[in-house]
Structure 1
Amino acid sequence: MTNSQPQILSIDEYHNLADRGFFKEDEAVELVEGTLVQMAPIGQDHAACLRALLEDLPVFVAQRALVQTQEAIVLNENTEVQPDFAILAYADDYYRARLPQASEVLLAIEIADELSLEYDRAIKQPLYARAGISDYWIFNLNDKYLEIYSEPDELSPGKFGYRTKRIPFINEAIPLPGFPDSLLSLTKIFPE
């Protein structure tokens, strides 16, 4: 009799697979609750949004926090994800010795298109909330607006999410959480 249960991987086992060349060089994979998840490919709109944010985010948080793009953060012992952007608590060593932990993530940002929107809402959002990440943004490229989530909580037994969801107007300039002097123009991200 064979075991039909999928194997739940730890982060160490996941890293061991990567070190042994299990993944192709251009393969984008996340570890979610011990399961390998193939990430959606990046389209033109997604790439343009990445570039626009990459131009502004590092300037907004310079020398007060760190910005990383599409790099790993650890949410728990068997979940390591790669948000499109993470604004991290400042670390003098730039997290050279270890991966950033959920408690060090000030803002997680996903850029979502038709391939990834449901995943970012249904899977990533509760993961980030359960990990205690205080602020989560989804740049919704389908509907051309920003979804701002805050106040993570256990909304019902075992079900995590955010108590507050806000969708600003397209012509607003939005401050980054914790950086009220930074104003991100949404018209730059979602041009007419």
Structure 2
Amino acid sequence: MPASAKLETSTSSAPPDDGSRAVRFTVEQYQRMIDAGVFDSDRRVELLRGRIVRMPAMQNPHWFLLHHVEKLINGLLPSGYFTSEQAPIVFDDSEPEPDVGVIRGLLTDYRESKPRASDAAMLIEIASRSLLSDRRDKGPIYASGSVPEYWIVNAIDRSVEVYRDPKASVSAIAADYQQRTTYRDSDPIPFQLDGKDIATIRCDELIPLAD
């Protein structure tokens, strides 16, 4: 492990109950709303633990890093995987749209249905304004679906947080990743898919400095 990489045990917990009675929707109800055109076409939303959450408008460096990271990861994939960009992944009570997904199989396998959590080998979020939610909300959701690898490309402090060893739970709120490693600068990041070493990517390759 590189000297500046920090291995931590995840200590995140469910957000406190504020006593509100927000309406919650199932994945099926959410999909029917999409099909019925309930949401404005220029406003992107996702379903997180039954709640419909508006996604913030994309700005730089998010836009640049999204396409840069997807291109880099896609160029390293072995056969049997493909990348997705801000496309929905179906979980039991959520339908998030991670910035980058590494999906098992072929694109043509999903002509009739969206990928499910069990189809995702790796999910990546580009974090700037969304950093808190990516840690507190997205991490437990992805762990609840046993997605083996979750990365947060942290544009705020130019680091990459790698989460592994998901621990599922009867409650998605209690699920989480057991291992978190933070990489910075030129730290080498092991790129793994389904337990196999694919390549090594430097942190500063994922978050390059401006010329």
* Same fold, TM-score > 0.5, yes or no: yes
1:146 — aligned with what?
Answer: 160
**C-alpha distance after superposition, 1:73-111 (max 9, x if no partner):** 0111x3111000110111362411111111111101000
Q: Secondary structure at the match of 1:148?
A: strand
1:128 — aligned with what?
Answer: 142
Contact 1:106 1:177 in 2 (8 A): no
| Unaligned 5+ runs, structure 1 | none
Q: Which whole-Å CA distance do the structure 1 matches of 2:137 and 2:28 have between them?
A: 22
Q: Which whole-Å CA distance do the structure 2 matches of 1:159 and 1:18 have between them?
A: 28
CA RMSD of superposed structures (Å):
2.2
What residue identity is the alignment partner of 1:110? E
Higher deviation after alignment, 14-23 or 170-179: 170-179
1:69 aligns with one of 78, 81, 85: 85
Structure with the largest fraction of strand: 1
Contact 2:184 2:204 in 1 (8 A): no
Contact 2:80 2:106 in 1 (8 A): no
1:16 — aligned with what?
Answer: 32
Contact 1:52 1:188 in 2 (8 A): no
Answer 1 or 2: higher relative contact order, Cα 8 Å, separation at least 6.
2
**C-alpha distance after superposition, 1:40-87 (max 9, x if no partner):** 2211101111121122122211532011010000111x3111000110
Report matched runs for 1:1-192 at 5 Å: 5-76=21-92, 78-91=93-106, 93-113=108-128, 115-153=129-167, 159-178=174-193, 180-192=197-209
What residue identity is the alignment partner of 1:188? E
2:4 — aligned with what?
Answer: none
Q: Which whole-Å CA distance do the structure 1 matches of 2:50 and 2:112 have between them?
A: 23
Task: Give the count of matched residue pairs.
Answer: 187
Contact 2:117 2:146 in 1 (8 A): yes
What residue identity is the alignment partner of 1:146? V
Sequence identity, in percent?
A: 26
| Unaligned 5+ runs, structure 2 | 1-19
Contact 2:145 2:168 in 1 (8 A): no
Structure 1-normalised TM-score?
0.88
What residue identity is the alignment partner of 1:150? R
Shift of 1:21: 1.5
Structure 2-normalised TM-score?
0.81
Contact 1:66 1:90 in 2 (8 A): yes
Shift of 1:154: 5.2
Structure 1 segments of 4+ aligned residues over 3 angstroms from their partners = none
